[in-house]
Amino acid sequence: MGDEMGVMRFRCCGNRSPAGHAANCALKPPEYQPPPARQQTSAEWQEQEEGCQFDIFRFQHIGTCKGTCGEQEVKHFRKPGDELIIVIVLIDADDEHAEETLKKLEERGLRRLNEEELAEIAARYKAGDLRVRVITTTLDDLEEETRPQDPYLHVGECAKILGFSKSWVRTLCRRGQFEGAIKLMREWAIPQSAVLLPD
């Protein structure tokens, strides 16, 4: 990425250097304001940073809503009436890199279901409470189908490129400032094209 920075510029204001954005850059953090009298506890701060958590089987929050589940995040969770797609992956017993490939797929948002989750899905399917579609594929095919066309940046990479703090980048993600950014588990994945423009 470092070598590419010379031929890339920020999508937000057209500048090239993380040392400074244009004065009218919409992504710049607000000017420093003295903190309020009461400081957040570390537990409150962590809860805010993690954002809302969802039970994807019951279509509801886990715990209380933390105010971060605007349209940008909620659209990535299932709603009643949606179809649950289960992918059965055929793995070659001699594939030494299978576990590494599975971890890569989990980073892209797929996850392995445990026995308890499969039992719950089966029970809800039998009760007519859930529509399920099963797809069978090979590990190689699934990796190729889910390969991102636009490279994703994690929060730390994005912060380094733009010269912002990680917490400010997370705030911009929650506000929907980076088009196509998605929350995978507890961390954001930001498309590179939402941050940089090629010359």
Domain CATH number, residue 198: 1.10.10
> How confident is the model at residue 1, as a pLDDT?
44
**175 and 188 fall within a common domain:** yes
Structurally, the chain folds into a number of domains equal to 3
> How confident is the model at residue 169, as a pLDDT?
92
Tokens of 109: 């948002």
Residue 15 within any structural domain of the chain? no
**87 and 138 fall within a common domain:** yes
Q: Which residues constitute the domain of residue 192?
A: 150-199
pLDDT digits (tens, 9 = 90+) for 30-75: 775 665 666 667 666 665 556 666 555 555 666 666 665 554 444 4
**134 and 102 fall within a common domain:** yes
> How confident is the model at residue 10, as a pLDDT?
80
> How confident is the model at residue 69, as a pLDDT?
58
Residue 101 within any structural domain of the chain? yes
Measured CA to CA, the distance from residue 134 to residue 120 in angstroms comes to 16
Q: Which residues of the chain have pLDDT under 50?
A: 1-7, 71-79
**106 and 164 fall within a common domain:** no
State the pTM of this model: 0.40
Please, what's the b/e burial string for 112-131 (b: 16 or more CB within 10 A of its CB; e: otherwise)? eeeeeeeeebeebeeeeebe
CB 153 within 8 A of CB 192: yes
